[in-house]
Structure 1
């Protein structure tokens, strides 16, 4: 009898959820969890793992040392779109296919970006704080020059599933939408612009691209300075693409009139960080993609892809160029 595949699931996905997902596999697979749930527990559990479900919070990263410890590892499934908690190069060199959950939260994140743009344009959070504090800042809101979203030129940096869906939603509102990505999409309904030109033509800039060595610091102080005076920034991508300090400086200079940030250089955002007290910033705890619909999509995708690996079928969404047929070590 063939030994069961050993699936090592990293936090923060709850144990009972993971067990339920793979119960239909019966004796073909067994699920394990690091004990304790720390670095030492991870390194101790990896040598017996055939499949790893990654940690989207990045607290237990699969770095080069972890990859070396995973002698039997045949497949890694990230329960997220981003793979910055993995040493993808080390996994590729070890012949381990890595799959992400591309598209699972595209609609949810795109809706958050549109909602954040509304909140910034109409100063919703600022007005809410004033009323809760006992004030009635009606004329102060007028003085802040609220805008209607449809009048704004929207630029989207990154045109994967999230960027494309955000473009569609903004266009449906009547916005003029442009985009930049490394490989222009001839089929895109939006207008392609080179990155610096896009920044110069965007009243609302939406970041929706992965964090890589090439994109880290992509939108720094020099590029923010290209934007129109009083522009708005919406970041649903990753912290580090536009550094927090650069955002603060652009806000203080007036180049940016507001920013909606779901992600930060370091998460959680440090207590006392100046972004926490900035009145022109809408803050979110990396939760743009956490709608119930997105969560159901994610659970289904992880279940189906890992089950396919165990059952000898090809997996989907491999991001490191290896064959989607998972071979047991």
Structure 2
């Protein structure tokens, strides 16, 4: 068990399984503690913070591992090739936080259009910037969505319901999608609000770099609910400083936690969030429900949901979670 929840919370969550599985926590939240607990584990619940990745070194430290449950949608902290080669099935919690993240994307777009954070700062400083806000109405913005998985699709639906003209790009066009499919460069050139909601894989790393951001209309707005590596932080800063971007709402960063001295923290046109777009109470309940359902299914020898590497989790020994 790697996720950083208090022991009493984990004990409560896994109480229904106490007669069927031994729940073990790392003695320390570092590589030594991780590897020690992995040595005897058949089932692992991963760490959603990314501090304890299931990389090749961790997989090698887990000779008994047959099932890894990530308590999140992203599996970019897992070495899927190493896990598959070791015969370990990997599942995520796809869909659990879809609405939460999509609502954050829409809320962030509202905040950027109406300059909520900037206005709040000026008011707290004693100002009265009534004539300086010059906000935009969201419904009048052209919204481009990069990625059309569950989060991209739900974001598109919500933006369209508000009256926005929605377009999207994904690696494959989707039947029945909300909005118009456009090639990436065309999408960028016609997006007043760009929402990034695509998974981080080798093919999407650096997908929206300086050249792509330069295609956006002047004073465009960026909302990133995907991963920091898709839109490099330095490229975002450069686009903000050049005026190509009028604002950015960032829930994700290349390095997390974002270093305290990072220039994004002090940039006036940036709305910051600590990778918490999917952390609504409802979403967390959904995640916990999916984690528990999958672990129970593994113990029962039944199929599990949202396996991302195509392997069945087979338990032949006494199980330690």
Correspondence for 2:51 among 59, 71, 76: 59
Aligned to 1:328: 316
Aligned to 2:16: 24
Aligned to 1:6: none
The 5 A counterparts of 1:4-43 are: 9-43=1-35
> 1:32 and 1:150 mapped to 2: Cα distance?
50
Aligned to 1:133: 125
> 1:289 and 1:215 mapped to 2: Cα distance?
21
Secondary structure of 1:263's partner? coil
Correspondence for 1:293 among 282, 304, 318: 282
Correspondence for 1:74 among 66, 84, 105: 66
- Deviation at residue 75 of structure 1 after TM alignment: 0.2
> 1:15 and 1:196 mapped to 2: Cα distance?
48
The 5 A counterparts of 1:1-329 are: 9-142=1-134, 146-323=135-312, 325-328=313-316
- Deviation at residue 141 of structure 1 after TM alignment: 1.1
Secondary structure of 2:29's partner? coil
| Residues 74 and 328, structure 1, Cα contact 8 Å, conserved in 2 | no
- Deviation at residue 95 of structure 1 after TM alignment: 1.4
> 2:28 and 2:261 mapped to 1: Cα distance?
31
- After superposing the two structures, state which structure 1 stretch, 11-20 or 184-193, moved more: 11-20
Secondary structure of 2:23's partner? strand
| Residues 42 and 315, structure 2, Cα contact 8 Å, conserved in 1 | no
| Residues 314 and 326, structure 1, Cα contact 8 Å, conserved in 2 | no
Secondary structure of 1:232's partner? strand
* Cα deviation code 1:108-144 (max 9, x no counterpart): 11011000000100111111110110010111113xx
> 2:92 and 2:86 mapped to 1: Cα distance?
18
Secondary structure of 1:107's partner? helix
> 1:328 and 1:118 mapped to 2: Cα distance?
52
Secondary structure of 1:113's partner? helix
> 1:150 and 1:273 mapped to 2: Cα distance?
33
* Cα deviation code 1:310-329 (max 9, x no counterpart): 11110000111223x53436
> 2:27 and 2:20 mapped to 1: Cα distance?
22
TM-score by length of 1: 0.94
| Residues 143 and 193, structure 2, Cα contact 8 Å, conserved in 1 | yes
TM-score by length of 2: 0.96
- Deviation at residue 38 of structure 1 after TM alignment: 1.6
Using CA pairs under 8 Å that are at least 6 residues apart, name the structure with larger relative contact order, 1 or 2: 2
